[in-house]
Amino acid sequence: MSSLKIDILTLFPNMFSGPFEESLLKKAQKAKRIDIQIHDLRKFSREKHHKVDDTLFGGGPGMLLKAEPLVEAIEYLSKKEGEKPWVIYLSPQGKTLKQSKALELSQKKHLLLVCGHYEGIDERVMDWIDEEISIGDFVLTGGEFPAMVLVDAVCRLVPGVVKEWESIINDSFFSSKLDYAQYTRPADFKGKKVPEVLLSGNHKEIKNWRETNALNRTLKKRPELANVS
């Protein structure tokens, strides 16, 4: 039984074939920690040639995704699983994705991601949407790339996906700080040496050094995070 099921509704299902078939996401699906299903929006269109978009009332450039196929898809996928999924519309008007939100979403049983395109979606569809999420203050060609980012951020927080949970809690943003500096062999690279404390074997001193280093890096690179409790 999967820990988290994710349905993705999109006009371009082939865009997802690569990212979800590599690395941790591939392993997590094979281990049934997560179940990702991609759905072509055009299959829910009842119009000739499976049309899913139309011009805007009131005029204006571009096309808009129609309400009928979107709502039919959302309702179908909701009934199919027997339990209403948490429906997310990937939109530049949504709240910016944060680590805390990714953790919250990782604890849900079923997510349904709606990828907008063109000028977006008919506003009436918003009555079927639980939440809008953005990955930043910029506009992309569609919601597919934001959906990939959200899935990756959320799925790595599902228990068992990342082998060592300690690596998760030490991530940047997990505790309102950036991650501490990290080093591996060789201990001396072109005269640049690893801090002696990391070679000492003294776990208490290493822990203190990492906490101080993480705070200093946060103050230097992202000082606004240091004000978050």
By annotation, the residues acting in catalysis are: 92, 119, 156, 171
Long-range own/partner contacts, residues 96-102 (CB < 8 A, 24 or more apart):
96/133, 96/134, 96/135, 96/136, 96/137, 97/133, 97/134, 97/135, 97/149, 97/150, 97/153, 98/173, 99/153, 99/171, 99/172, 99/173, 99/174, 101/133, 102/150, 102/153, 102/154, 102/157
CA proximity to 122, closest of 71, 74, 69, 64? 64
Cα-based distances in Å from 131 to 39, 97, 104, 189: 19, 11, 13, 48
Peptide bond into 159 cis (omega under 30): no
Token pair 């906490």: residue: 211
